[in-house]
Structure 1
Amino acid sequence: MKTVSFTQMKDGTKEDYDLLAEAERPYHALTPERILSELKRQNEDTLSGYKITRMQHGLQAATRARREGADIDWIVGALLHDIGDGLAPQNHDRFSAEVIRPFVRDEVAWVVEHHGIFQMLYYGRHYGWDENARDQFKDHMHFQACADFCERWDQSSFDPDYEMDTLESFEPLVREVFSRKAYDPAVLQEGVSRGLPPLQ
Protein backbone atom coordinates (compact mmCIF):
# COMPACT_ATOMS: atom_id res chain seq x y z
CA MET A 1 0.00 0.00 0.00
CA LYS A 2 1.31 3.43 -0.91
CA THR A 3 1.95 5.73 2.05
CA VAL A 4 2.71 9.40 2.58
CA SER A 5 6.24 10.75 2.50
CA PHE A 6 6.11 12.56 5.84
CA THR A 7 6.52 11.69 9.51
CA GLN A 8 5.29 15.11 10.64
CA MET A 9 2.09 16.54 9.19
CA LYS A 10 3.70 19.93 8.61
CA ASP A 11 6.07 18.31 6.09
CA GLY A 12 3.30 16.83 3.94
CA THR A 13 2.93 17.75 0.28
CA LYS A 14 -0.22 18.25 -1.76
CA GLU A 15 0.38 14.80 -3.26
CA ASP A 16 0.53 13.32 0.26
CA TYR A 17 -2.78 14.86 1.21
CA ASP A 18 -4.39 13.90 -2.08
CA LEU A 19 -3.27 10.33 -1.36
CA LEU A 20 -4.83 10.46 2.11
CA ALA A 21 -8.10 11.90 0.81
CA GLU A 22 -8.37 9.05 -1.68
CA ALA A 23 -7.38 6.42 0.89
CA GLU A 24 -9.97 7.67 3.40
CA ARG A 25 -12.93 7.51 0.99
CA PRO A 26 -13.71 3.81 1.59
CA TYR A 27 -13.45 4.32 5.36
CA HIS A 28 -15.87 7.25 5.26
CA ALA A 29 -18.25 5.21 3.13
CA LEU A 30 -18.43 2.59 5.89
CA THR A 31 -19.55 5.07 8.56
CA PRO A 32 -23.18 3.81 8.49
CA GLU A 33 -21.96 0.25 9.07
CA ARG A 34 -19.90 1.34 12.10
CA ILE A 35 -22.89 3.26 13.48
CA LEU A 36 -25.18 0.25 13.07
CA SER A 37 -22.56 -2.03 14.61
CA GLU A 38 -22.35 0.23 17.66
CA LEU A 39 -26.13 0.18 18.02
CA LYS A 40 -26.10 -3.62 17.90
CA ARG A 41 -23.37 -3.66 20.54
CA GLN A 42 -25.62 -1.52 22.73
CA ASN A 43 -28.14 -4.35 22.70
CA GLU A 44 -25.78 -6.73 24.50
CA ASP A 45 -26.75 -5.66 28.00
CA THR A 46 -29.44 -3.64 29.68
CA LEU A 47 -28.96 -0.05 30.66
CA SER A 48 -27.72 -0.35 34.23
CA GLY A 49 -30.85 -0.54 36.36
CA TYR A 50 -33.28 0.03 33.50
CA LYS A 51 -35.69 -2.54 32.05
CA ILE A 52 -34.39 -2.28 28.47
CA THR A 53 -31.10 -2.11 26.57
CA ARG A 54 -29.51 1.04 25.22
CA MET A 55 -30.37 -0.04 21.68
CA GLN A 56 -34.01 -0.60 22.63
CA HIS A 57 -34.15 2.90 24.10
CA GLY A 58 -32.92 4.37 20.82
CA LEU A 59 -35.33 2.21 18.84
CA GLN A 60 -38.25 3.32 21.00
CA ALA A 61 -37.36 7.00 20.63
CA ALA A 62 -36.95 6.65 16.86
CA THR A 63 -40.17 4.66 16.56
CA ARG A 64 -42.07 7.38 18.40
CA ALA A 65 -40.52 10.00 16.11
CA ARG A 66 -41.45 8.05 12.98
CA ARG A 67 -45.01 7.36 14.15
CA GLU A 68 -45.49 11.07 14.81
CA GLY A 69 -44.49 11.89 11.23
CA ALA A 70 -41.00 13.25 11.92
CA ASP A 71 -38.58 13.74 9.05
CA ILE A 72 -35.48 11.61 8.50
CA ASP A 73 -33.17 13.93 10.46
CA TRP A 74 -35.37 13.73 13.57
CA ILE A 75 -35.79 9.97 13.26
CA VAL A 76 -32.06 9.29 12.92
CA GLY A 77 -31.34 11.86 15.64
CA ALA A 78 -33.74 10.07 17.98
CA LEU A 79 -32.25 6.69 17.10
CA LEU A 80 -28.69 7.88 17.78
CA HIS A 81 -29.21 10.42 20.55
CA ASP A 82 -27.44 8.15 23.06
CA ILE A 83 -24.93 6.51 20.67
CA GLY A 84 -22.10 8.03 22.72
CA ASP A 85 -23.16 6.35 25.95
CA GLY A 86 -20.66 3.50 25.67
CA LEU A 87 -17.52 5.61 25.31
CA ALA A 88 -18.58 8.86 26.99
CA PRO A 89 -21.27 8.19 29.60
CA GLN A 90 -20.60 11.46 31.44
CA ASN A 91 -21.03 13.60 28.32
CA HIS A 92 -22.80 11.22 25.98
CA ASP A 93 -25.12 13.95 24.73
CA ARG A 94 -22.28 16.05 23.29
CA PHE A 95 -20.47 12.96 22.00
CA SER A 96 -23.62 11.74 20.24
CA ALA A 97 -24.21 15.17 18.73
CA GLU A 98 -20.73 15.20 17.22
CA VAL A 99 -21.38 11.84 15.56
CA ILE A 100 -24.41 13.17 13.71
CA ARG A 101 -23.54 16.88 13.38
CA PRO A 102 -21.95 16.78 9.89
CA PHE A 103 -24.97 15.00 8.39
CA VAL A 104 -28.17 16.40 9.93
CA ARG A 105 -29.94 19.71 10.32
CA ASP A 106 -28.27 21.96 12.90
CA GLU A 107 -31.47 21.99 14.94
CA VAL A 108 -31.34 18.20 15.42
CA ALA A 109 -27.65 18.22 16.37
CA TRP A 110 -28.29 21.01 18.90
CA VAL A 111 -31.16 19.10 20.48
CA VAL A 112 -29.09 15.92 20.78
CA GLU A 113 -26.19 17.93 22.21
CA HIS A 114 -28.37 19.48 24.92
CA HIS A 115 -30.87 16.73 25.70
CA GLY A 116 -28.90 15.67 28.78
CA ILE A 117 -29.39 18.95 30.62
CA PHE A 118 -33.02 19.14 29.47
CA GLN A 119 -33.68 15.62 30.81
CA MET A 120 -32.67 16.79 34.31
CA LEU A 121 -36.16 18.26 34.56
CA TYR A 122 -37.39 14.73 35.26
CA TYR A 123 -34.85 13.55 37.82
CA GLY A 124 -32.44 16.32 38.88
CA ARG A 125 -34.18 16.96 42.19
CA HIS A 126 -33.54 13.37 43.27
CA TYR A 127 -29.80 14.04 43.17
CA GLY A 128 -29.94 17.55 44.56
CA TRP A 129 -29.28 19.02 41.10
CA ASP A 130 -31.01 21.98 39.48
CA GLU A 131 -33.86 20.39 37.58
CA ASN A 132 -34.40 23.66 35.75
CA ALA A 133 -30.80 24.00 34.53
CA ARG A 134 -32.15 23.95 30.99
CA ASP A 135 -33.62 27.42 31.60
CA GLN A 136 -30.22 28.90 30.75
CA PHE A 137 -31.21 28.17 27.14
CA LYS A 138 -34.76 29.55 27.39
CA ASP A 139 -34.09 32.20 24.74
CA HIS A 140 -32.43 29.81 22.31
CA MET A 141 -34.28 29.16 19.06
CA HIS A 142 -34.17 25.38 19.61
CA PHE A 143 -35.26 25.40 23.27
CA GLN A 144 -38.82 24.23 22.58
CA ALA A 145 -37.68 21.55 20.14
CA CYS A 146 -35.36 20.11 22.78
CA ALA A 147 -38.03 20.27 25.49
CA ASP A 148 -40.47 18.48 23.16
CA PHE A 149 -37.87 15.91 22.10
CA CYS A 150 -37.23 15.01 25.72
CA GLU A 151 -40.90 14.90 26.69
CA ARG A 152 -42.28 13.06 23.67
CA TRP A 153 -39.47 10.77 22.53
CA ASP A 154 -36.70 10.43 25.12
CA GLN A 155 -38.02 10.27 28.68
CA SER A 156 -40.96 8.09 27.62
CA SER A 157 -38.84 5.44 25.87
CA PHE A 158 -37.88 3.04 28.65
CA ASP A 159 -40.86 0.71 28.35
CA PRO A 160 -40.19 -3.02 27.84
CA ASP A 161 -43.77 -3.46 26.58
CA TYR A 162 -43.63 -0.76 23.90
CA GLU A 163 -43.92 -2.20 20.39
CA MET A 164 -40.90 -0.62 18.76
CA ASP A 165 -39.83 -0.90 15.14
CA THR A 166 -36.81 -3.07 14.35
CA LEU A 167 -33.28 -1.83 13.83
CA GLU A 168 -33.44 -3.25 10.31
CA SER A 169 -36.32 -0.90 9.52
CA PHE A 170 -34.11 2.08 10.37
CA GLU A 171 -30.98 0.89 8.54
CA PRO A 172 -31.89 2.53 5.19
CA LEU A 173 -32.40 5.86 6.97
CA VAL A 174 -29.03 5.63 8.73
CA ARG A 175 -27.33 4.79 5.44
CA GLU A 176 -29.06 7.68 3.68
CA VAL A 177 -28.12 10.25 6.32
CA PHE A 178 -24.50 9.17 6.64
CA SER A 179 -24.00 9.06 2.89
CA ARG A 180 -24.73 12.78 2.65
CA LYS A 181 -21.90 15.20 1.95
CA ALA A 182 -20.51 16.20 5.34
CA TYR A 183 -21.30 19.77 6.44
CA ASP A 184 -23.42 20.50 3.37
CA PRO A 185 -25.04 23.90 4.09
CA ALA A 186 -28.21 22.71 2.34
CA VAL A 187 -28.46 19.92 4.94
CA LEU A 188 -27.28 21.84 8.01
CA GLN A 189 -29.75 24.70 7.52
CA GLU A 190 -28.17 26.78 10.28
CA GLY A 191 -30.57 29.32 11.71
CA VAL A 192 -33.63 27.22 10.88
CA SER A 193 -35.89 25.98 13.68
CA ARG A 194 -38.74 23.74 12.55
CA GLY A 195 -39.49 22.04 15.83
CA LEU A 196 -41.01 18.59 16.15
CA PRO A 197 -44.02 17.69 14.04
CA PRO A 198 -47.27 18.78 15.68
CA LEU A 199 -49.12 16.09 17.61
CA GLN A 200 -52.14 14.77 15.74
Structure 2
Amino acid sequence: MEKMHFTRMDQGTDEDFQILKQVHEHTLKELPDRLFGLLSDLGKDTAYNITRRDHCLQSATRALRDGKDEEYVVVALLHDACETLGPFNHGEVIAAILRPFISRDNYWMLAQHGLFQTYFYAAHLGLDPNARDKFRSDPAYEQTIEFCAKYDEVSFDPAYKNEPLSTFEPMVRRVLSKDWTPPGARRRGTRRLGLGLSLGGGQGDHRRQRAICDLDGGRRPLLHEEDQSPMATGG
Protein backbone atom coordinates (compact mmCIF):
# COMPACT_ATOMS: atom_id res chain seq x y z
CA MET A 1 0.00 0.00 0.00
CA GLU A 2 1.21 3.50 -0.80
CA LYS A 3 2.06 5.89 2.01
CA MET A 4 0.55 9.24 2.88
CA HIS A 5 3.05 12.09 2.81
CA PHE A 6 1.69 14.75 5.14
CA THR A 7 3.17 15.56 8.55
CA ARG A 8 -0.05 17.30 9.60
CA MET A 9 -3.50 16.47 8.30
CA ASP A 10 -4.41 19.98 7.19
CA GLN A 11 -1.62 19.76 4.62
CA GLY A 12 -2.77 16.47 3.11
CA THR A 13 -3.69 16.15 -0.55
CA ASP A 14 -6.63 14.42 -2.22
CA GLU A 15 -4.27 11.56 -3.05
CA ASP A 16 -3.20 11.26 0.60
CA PHE A 17 -6.77 10.90 1.77
CA GLN A 18 -7.57 8.30 -0.85
CA ILE A 19 -4.79 6.26 0.76
CA LEU A 20 -6.30 6.96 4.20
CA LYS A 21 -9.60 5.63 2.87
CA GLN A 22 -7.85 2.47 1.68
CA VAL A 23 -6.29 1.99 5.14
CA HIS A 24 -9.69 2.13 6.82
CA GLU A 25 -11.25 -0.12 4.21
CA HIS A 26 -8.51 -2.68 4.88
CA THR A 27 -9.10 -2.38 8.63
CA LEU A 28 -12.82 -2.89 8.12
CA LYS A 29 -12.17 -5.99 6.02
CA GLU A 30 -10.02 -7.43 8.85
CA LEU A 31 -12.57 -6.68 11.60
CA PRO A 32 -14.31 -10.10 11.59
CA ASP A 33 -10.98 -11.90 12.06
CA ARG A 34 -9.95 -9.54 14.85
CA LEU A 35 -13.21 -10.33 16.64
CA PHE A 36 -12.67 -14.06 16.11
CA GLY A 37 -9.25 -13.54 17.69
CA LEU A 38 -10.88 -12.03 20.77
CA LEU A 39 -13.20 -15.04 20.96
CA SER A 40 -10.22 -17.35 20.67
CA ASP A 41 -8.55 -15.61 23.60
CA LEU A 42 -11.60 -16.42 25.72
CA GLY A 43 -10.83 -20.10 25.18
CA LYS A 44 -8.05 -19.92 27.78
CA ASP A 45 -10.47 -19.83 30.74
CA THR A 46 -10.32 -22.49 33.43
CA ALA A 47 -12.58 -20.95 36.09
CA TYR A 48 -15.93 -21.75 34.45
CA ASN A 49 -17.46 -25.13 33.65
CA ILE A 50 -16.83 -24.21 30.02
CA THR A 51 -14.59 -21.52 28.57
CA ARG A 52 -16.05 -18.13 27.81
CA ARG A 53 -15.40 -18.87 24.14
CA ASP A 54 -17.66 -21.92 24.40
CA HIS A 55 -20.13 -19.85 26.40
CA CYS A 56 -20.34 -17.42 23.46
CA LEU A 57 -20.76 -20.29 21.00
CA GLN A 58 -23.47 -21.78 23.19
CA SER A 59 -25.36 -18.48 23.41
CA ALA A 60 -25.27 -18.13 19.62
CA THR A 61 -26.20 -21.78 19.10
CA ARG A 62 -29.27 -21.45 21.32
CA ALA A 63 -30.34 -18.28 19.53
CA LEU A 64 -29.82 -19.89 16.12
CA ARG A 65 -31.84 -22.98 17.07
CA ASP A 66 -34.59 -20.73 18.39
CA GLY A 67 -34.92 -19.15 14.95
CA LYS A 68 -33.49 -15.72 15.78
CA ASP A 69 -32.40 -13.64 12.81
CA GLU A 70 -28.81 -13.53 11.63
CA GLU A 71 -27.94 -10.19 13.20
CA TYR A 72 -29.26 -11.34 16.58
CA VAL A 73 -27.25 -14.58 16.36
CA VAL A 74 -24.09 -12.60 15.59
CA VAL A 75 -24.77 -10.34 18.58
CA ALA A 76 -25.19 -13.43 20.76
CA LEU A 77 -21.91 -14.85 19.49
CA LEU A 78 -19.95 -11.66 20.20
CA HIS A 79 -21.70 -10.44 23.34
CA ASP A 80 -18.77 -11.27 25.66
CA ALA A 81 -15.95 -10.95 23.12
CA CYS A 82 -14.55 -7.84 24.84
CA GLU A 83 -14.60 -9.07 28.44
CA THR A 84 -10.79 -9.02 28.56
CA LEU A 85 -10.72 -5.43 27.24
CA GLY A 86 -13.50 -4.01 29.44
CA PRO A 87 -13.76 -5.76 32.81
CA PHE A 88 -16.20 -3.08 34.00
CA ASN A 89 -18.09 -2.43 30.76
CA HIS A 90 -17.45 -5.21 28.25
CA GLY A 91 -20.98 -4.90 26.90
CA GLU A 92 -20.51 -1.24 26.06
CA VAL A 93 -17.16 -1.99 24.39
CA ILE A 94 -18.50 -4.61 21.96
CA ALA A 95 -21.67 -2.56 21.46
CA ALA A 96 -19.59 0.43 20.38
CA ILE A 97 -17.66 -1.70 17.88
CA LEU A 98 -20.82 -3.21 16.38
CA ARG A 99 -22.96 -0.08 16.51
CA PRO A 100 -22.52 0.87 12.81
CA PHE A 101 -23.68 -2.61 11.75
CA ILE A 102 -26.65 -3.44 13.98
CA SER A 103 -30.05 -2.13 14.99
CA ARG A 104 -30.63 0.28 17.82
CA ASP A 105 -32.26 -2.36 20.06
CA ASN A 106 -29.51 -4.92 19.51
CA TYR A 107 -26.96 -2.22 20.30
CA TRP A 108 -28.77 -1.34 23.51
CA MET A 109 -29.12 -5.00 24.48
CA LEU A 110 -25.38 -5.52 24.06
CA ALA A 111 -24.49 -2.41 26.04
CA GLN A 112 -26.80 -3.30 28.94
CA HIS A 113 -26.63 -7.09 29.10
CA GLY A 114 -23.95 -7.04 31.81
CA LEU A 115 -26.24 -5.18 34.20
CA PHE A 116 -29.25 -7.32 33.28
CA GLN A 117 -27.22 -10.47 33.99
CA THR A 118 -26.79 -9.39 37.62
CA TYR A 119 -30.45 -10.30 38.13
CA PHE A 120 -29.25 -13.91 38.43
CA TYR A 121 -26.40 -13.41 40.89
CA ALA A 122 -26.51 -9.94 42.49
CA ALA A 123 -27.95 -11.24 45.77
CA HIS A 124 -24.84 -13.38 46.28
CA LEU A 125 -22.71 -10.22 46.22
CA GLY A 126 -25.00 -8.04 48.33
CA LEU A 127 -26.28 -6.10 45.32
CA ASP A 128 -29.76 -5.31 44.00
CA PRO A 129 -30.91 -7.97 41.51
CA ASN A 130 -33.57 -5.59 40.22
CA ALA A 131 -31.19 -2.80 39.19
CA ARG A 132 -32.33 -3.34 35.62
CA ASP A 133 -35.80 -2.05 36.49
CA LYS A 134 -34.73 1.57 36.02
CA PHE A 135 -34.77 0.82 32.30
CA ARG A 136 -38.35 -0.49 32.15
CA SER A 137 -39.39 2.27 29.77
CA ASP A 138 -36.78 1.41 27.16
CA PRO A 139 -38.08 -0.33 24.03
CA ALA A 140 -35.33 -2.96 24.28
CA TYR A 141 -35.94 -3.77 27.97
CA GLU A 142 -37.95 -6.95 27.40
CA GLN A 143 -35.65 -8.07 24.58
CA THR A 144 -32.64 -7.77 26.90
CA ILE A 145 -34.40 -9.71 29.65
CA GLU A 146 -35.15 -12.47 27.15
CA PHE A 147 -31.58 -12.54 25.85
CA CYS A 148 -30.13 -12.92 29.33
CA ALA A 149 -32.64 -15.53 30.43
CA LYS A 150 -32.73 -17.70 27.30
CA TYR A 151 -29.28 -17.33 25.78
CA ASP A 152 -26.78 -15.90 28.28
CA GLU A 153 -27.22 -17.08 31.85
CA VAL A 154 -28.06 -20.67 30.84
CA SER A 155 -25.12 -21.09 28.45
CA PHE A 156 -22.50 -22.55 30.77
CA ASP A 157 -23.57 -26.15 30.20
CA PRO A 158 -20.80 -28.58 29.21
CA ALA A 159 -23.43 -31.16 28.18
CA TYR A 160 -24.97 -28.86 25.56
CA LYS A 161 -23.67 -29.46 22.03
CA ASN A 162 -22.58 -26.19 20.45
CA GLU A 163 -22.35 -25.39 16.79
CA PRO A 164 -18.72 -24.81 15.76
CA LEU A 165 -17.45 -21.32 15.03
CA SER A 166 -17.47 -22.18 11.32
CA THR A 167 -21.29 -22.15 11.45
CA PHE A 168 -21.24 -18.49 12.46
CA GLU A 169 -18.26 -17.13 10.53
CA PRO A 170 -20.24 -16.41 7.32
CA MET A 171 -22.95 -14.70 9.36
CA VAL A 172 -20.43 -12.42 11.04
CA ARG A 173 -18.86 -11.51 7.71
CA ARG A 174 -22.25 -10.69 6.18
CA VAL A 175 -23.38 -8.54 9.12
CA LEU A 176 -20.05 -6.67 9.13
CA SER A 177 -20.00 -6.21 5.38
CA LYS A 178 -20.22 -2.47 4.85
CA ASP A 179 -18.48 0.30 2.93
CA TRP A 180 -16.26 2.53 5.06
CA THR A 181 -17.21 6.19 5.30
CA PRO A 182 -15.58 8.93 7.41
CA PRO A 183 -17.31 10.23 10.53
CA GLY A 184 -20.15 12.56 9.63
CA ALA A 185 -20.70 11.09 6.17
CA ARG A 186 -24.05 9.56 5.37
CA ARG A 187 -23.71 5.80 5.44
CA ARG A 188 -25.66 3.53 3.15
CA GLY A 189 -28.59 2.14 5.09
CA THR A 190 -28.40 4.65 7.94
CA ARG A 191 -30.85 7.27 9.10
CA ARG A 192 -29.40 10.68 9.85
CA LEU A 193 -30.24 12.38 13.12
CA GLY A 194 -29.46 15.82 14.46
CA LEU A 195 -26.09 17.02 15.76
CA GLY A 196 -24.17 14.82 13.32
CA LEU A 197 -25.42 11.55 14.81
CA SER A 198 -26.36 8.58 12.68
CA LEU A 199 -27.27 5.06 13.66
CA GLY A 200 -26.14 1.89 11.95
CA GLY A 201 -28.29 0.28 9.32
CA GLY A 202 -28.48 -3.21 10.79
CA GLN A 203 -30.92 -5.89 9.73
CA GLY A 204 -33.22 -5.46 12.74
CA ASP A 205 -36.29 -3.31 13.27
CA HIS A 206 -35.44 0.40 12.93
CA ARG A 207 -38.90 1.80 13.56
CA ARG A 208 -37.94 2.92 17.05
CA GLN A 209 -34.36 3.84 16.18
CA ARG A 210 -32.98 6.81 18.05
CA ALA A 211 -29.73 8.14 19.44
CA ILE A 212 -28.34 5.88 22.16
CA CYS A 213 -28.95 7.23 25.61
CA ASP A 214 -28.91 6.56 29.31
CA LEU A 215 -26.26 3.83 29.24
CA ASP A 216 -25.32 4.31 32.87
CA GLY A 217 -28.74 5.01 34.32
CA GLY A 218 -28.21 8.76 34.45
CA ARG A 219 -30.45 11.35 32.90
CA ARG A 220 -28.91 12.00 29.51
CA PRO A 221 -30.49 13.80 26.57
CA LEU A 222 -32.35 11.60 24.15
CA LEU A 223 -32.81 12.66 20.55
CA HIS A 224 -36.00 11.74 18.78
CA GLU A 225 -35.85 11.63 15.02
CA GLU A 226 -39.19 13.40 14.82
CA ASP A 227 -38.16 16.64 16.52
CA GLN A 228 -34.45 16.20 17.30
CA SER A 229 -35.10 17.75 20.69
CA PRO A 230 -33.65 16.49 23.98
CA MET A 231 -35.87 14.54 26.33
CA ALA A 232 -34.69 13.39 29.74
CA THR A 233 -34.97 9.68 30.32
CA GLY A 234 -36.29 8.18 33.49
CA GLY A 235 -33.81 6.83 36.03
Deviation at 1:160, TM superposition (A): 1.0
Aligned to 2:135: 137
Larger helix proportion of the pair: 1
Secondary structure of 1:84's match?
coil
Q: In terms of mean alpha carbon deviation, does 78-87 or 21-30 score higher?
A: 21-30
Q: In terms of mean alpha carbon deviation, does 71-80 or 7-16 score higher?
A: 7-16
Matches within 5 A, 1:146-165: 146-165=144-163
Deviation at 1:26, TM superposition (A): 2.1
Deviation at 1:168, TM superposition (A): 1.1
Quick one: structure 1 residues 174 and 131, their matched pair in 2 at CA, closer, same or farther if it must change by over 3 Å?
same
Please say if residues 71 and 202 of structure 2, whose CA atoms lie closer than 8 Å, have aligned partners that are also in contact.
no
Deviation at 1:191, TM superposition (A): 4.0
Larger strand proportion of the pair: 2
Q: Which runs of 5+ in 2 are unaligned?
A: 181-186, 191-200, 210-235
Instruction: Read off the aligned partner of 2:57 and give its amino acid letter.
Output: L
Secondary structure of 2:43's match?
coil
Aligned to 1:115: 113
Deviation at 1:181, TM superposition (A): 4.1
Secondary structure of 1:5's match?
coil
Instruction: Read off the aligned partner of 2:5 and give its amino acid letter.
Output: S
Matches within 5 A, 1:56-71: 56-71=54-69
- Higher relative CO (Cα under 8 Å, sequence separation at least 6) belongs to 1
Distance 1:96 1:27 in 2: 16
Matches within 5 A, 1:28-107: 28-46=28-46, 49-107=47-105
**TM-score of the two chains, using structure 1 as the length reference:** 0.87
Identical-residue share of aligned pairs (%): 38
Distance 2:99 2:173 in 1: 15
Secondary structure of 1:83's match?
coil
Distance 2:70 2:95 in 1: 16
**TM-score of the two chains, using structure 2 as the length reference:** 0.75
Aligned to 1:21: 21
Aligned to 2:227: none
Distance 1:42 1:146 in 2: 23
Q: In terms of mean alpha carbon deviation, does 169-178 or 62-71 score higher?
A: 169-178
Please say if residues 103 and 181 of structure 1, whose CA atoms lie closer than 8 Å, have aligned partners that are also in contact.
no
Deviation at 1:18, TM superposition (A): 2.1
